[in-house]
């Protein structure tokens, strides 16, 4: 069953036509990835799904409900959470305050505490640093915080934008393991990555985005073995 469907959306930045009629779907329970080079429109696509941007035309459906053009703060409440590119943690607040804000819309104190324990189990480093100001964390720790913060809204679908950006290879591996773990515990994932090899290796379904158009789609394995993808994104 498709949890999220995007049908023929067109997105503009002023006069710039950034997304040119793309359609994609995210199956419930799996990991779907969107790969492509810089400027292909990956982040724009995610921003449009999460409501930070409005499409000019097209339709976005989440769990059967039309969410096209709905404001971002309403969409979070429906169970869709985005981890933005570049982490965007609240650098002037503590780790704990960041996690609290992740649960901003929730009032179920006990369940929030349960999720907090879960987040600290997934990211023990955040527990060690819970009273530290987020701006003083390393890049990898900030990524963990951004993911933990998104988990605090207890999303059924998590959008991840370039989680590996700027991280050392060992950390990238760690972050991807955690993404798989999050997915295994029942959260559907839509992952945007420039690190195509990593993304395709964990994805059930994958799309290739080029200058605002989807040019290829298939299972992660199919695209990993596709000649076109190997040439363009996997270095031969």
Binding site for other proteins (CB under 8 A): 50-52, 71-73, 76-77, 81-82, 84, 86, 88-93, 97, 100-102, 104-105, 135, 137-139, 142, 149-150, 153, 165-166
Three-state DSSP at 4 gives: strand
Nearer to other proteins, 145 or 199 (CB): 145
The separation between CA 233 and the C-alpha centre of its own chain, rounded to angstroms, equals 20
CA dist., res. 216 & res. 210, Å (int) = 9
Nearer to other proteins, 24 or 76 (CB): 76
Please report how close the Cβ of residue 43 comes to other proteins at its closest, in angstroms: 11
Please report how close the Cβ of residue 169 comes to other proteins at its closest, in angstroms: 17
Beta-strand (E) ranges in 135-232?
157-161, 188-193, 205-210, 213-218
Please answer whether residues 209 and 42 qualify as being in contact, where contact means their C-beta atoms are separated by less than 8 angstroms. yes
Phi, psi of 159, deg, nearest 5 = -100, 125
Please report how close the Cβ of residue 87 comes to other proteins at its closest, in angstroms: 8
CA–CA distances in Å: residue 156 to residues 30, 203, 208: 11, 17, 24
Please report how close the Cβ of residue 106 comes to other proteins at its closest, in angstroms: 9
Please report how close the Cβ of residue 72 comes to other proteins at its closest, in angstroms: 4
Nearer to other proteins, 62 or 200 (CB): 62
CA dist., res. 116 & res. 97, Å (int) = 12
Backbone CA torsion sign across 189, 180, 113, 131: negative
Nearer to other proteins, 91 or 228 (CB): 91
Nearer to other proteins, 192 or 223 (CB): 192
Please report how close the Cβ of residue 50 comes to other proteins at its closest, in angstroms: 6
Nearer to other proteins, 97 or 204 (CB): 97
CA dist., res. 184 & res. 166, Å (int) = 25
């Amino acid at each position: 069953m498709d949890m999220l469907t995007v049908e023929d959306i067109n997105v503009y930045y002023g006069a710039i036509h950034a997304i040119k009629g793309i359609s994609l779907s995210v199956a419930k329970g799996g990991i779907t990835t969107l790969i492509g080079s810089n400027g292909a429109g990956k982040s724009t696509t995610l921003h449009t799904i999460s409501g930070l941007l409005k499409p000019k035309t097209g339709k976005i459906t989440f769990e059967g409900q039309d969410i096209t053009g709905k404001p971002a703060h309403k969409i979070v409440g429906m169970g869709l959470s985005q981890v933005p590119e570049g982490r965007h943690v609240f650098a002037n607040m503590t780790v704990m305050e960041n996690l609290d804000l992740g649960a901003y819309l929730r009032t179920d104190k006990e369940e929030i505490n349960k999720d907090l324990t879960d987040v600290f189990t997934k990211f023990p480093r955040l527990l060690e640093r819970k009273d530290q100001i987020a701006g003083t964390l390393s890049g990898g720790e900030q990524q963990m915080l951004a993911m933990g913060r998104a988990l605090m809204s207890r999303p059924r679908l998590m959008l991840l934008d370039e989680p590996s950006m700027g991280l050392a290879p060992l950390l990238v591996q760690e972050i991807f393991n955690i993404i798989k773990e999050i997915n295994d515990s029942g959260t559907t994932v839509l992952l945007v990555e420039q690190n195509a090899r990593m993304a395709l290796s964990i994805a059930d379904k994958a799309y290739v985005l080029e200058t605002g158009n989807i040019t290829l789609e298939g299972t992660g394995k199919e695209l990993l073995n596709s000649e076109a993808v190997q040439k363009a994104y996997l270095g031969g």
